[in-house]
Structure 1
């Protein structure tokens, strides 16, 4: 097998997001998810966080020029098949990332996970950055992957049922992304219902709900798993369904570590004996 063929099969994913010192979310979850699904993960770290399963206790911002340098060097040498964005905490960071994407990767799909608030409640997006998030980043997304609280912040709506989710997903489409995957994990009910909205309409994707507190990093893991699928040439629908199955098993087999929201089992696809 030639090197070029191997790279196409692997799928090169550039992850632009914040770091999680606890290893359950952020860049760490992204790298694990992409690797576990056979892709090749690269990173541009936007912020360092001091956190564990109980919350975020500190954030150290990375200078925008260094974020740009990380992206430029990876793009120029290794190449990129898909980009996944996570924590972009300020207008300056969003503008920097979008400038690089538009100049260097205008035709590469971008999976936008609009990280705004940590699971423990710590804000991860400056309020003043909401405008840049909508107009610069979301508008060029191949798929936007908000959860219900994020969708409420983006739309100004109150989302209490599936009908409201559908209205929110359709409204988010007007911001410019080619598709919206509105995740229903925060809603009640025996099943988890995600809505995939695109120009073809709105499709409900249902799956079993697992009652557990060990769900730290599910959003990061799902978005990066979708990005991996797109990088490997899967259709959006197939990439989403594979990613949901991967994350579902990762939740079901979570190791149970930590006193708060524990991490997933990202390596359940790995077979060391092989």
Structure 2
């Protein structure tokens, strides 16, 4: 006398689905191909077809895994579920192309764990940084014009050649007019960078950098205008009020630079 599972004729996949579903209910998950082959005594093609049928039917365990042995007789037969061809999406295909639309999260089921899902989001496109050689091309003529203007204004306001090391190096001389372009324009670039650097800069430092950068650029423009107006009018000595303002520039640049450096090393609220 033979049991139903040992029929002389091979059973079809549709006839094996109830037994496979009963086995899945006991395990609490979709059984593996090897387990289906061993418990139902079928070949690899039928075990693969049974596993795909259970996955296509979106198997959900109705009870936690029981402690009964695996060879317990299956439950009552149910209507067979026709197997539908399924194609698993390739996870790499969605990551290969940049997503430009709105960010939408998509749940993805984990193979072998139907109750677990992974939420995947779009991959933002990576923007290439712009080349900086154009800035050097723009800065070259501006450097020549600004340097000559500040040096000329310094000579009209009393800045000139000095010997900073008397008695030590008498032949060493320095034109103090270069302190104007180096100080004012260098601080303007330093403050402009701190202003536009991004979220890493504290708010107080960014606010101070913004106002001082705009002020330094306007002051530099005013100095260039003053020099060219006096040069075109043949003035050999600047008025006293222009001399006073220009003489205070190195001290003002030192104070603003020290204040900005201090603010950059603080945190918001401190």
Greater share of residues in helix: 2
Greater share of residues in strand: 1
Could you say whether these structures have the same fold, taking a TM-score greater than 0.5 normalized by the shorter chain as the test? no
TM superposition score normalised by structure 1: 0.18
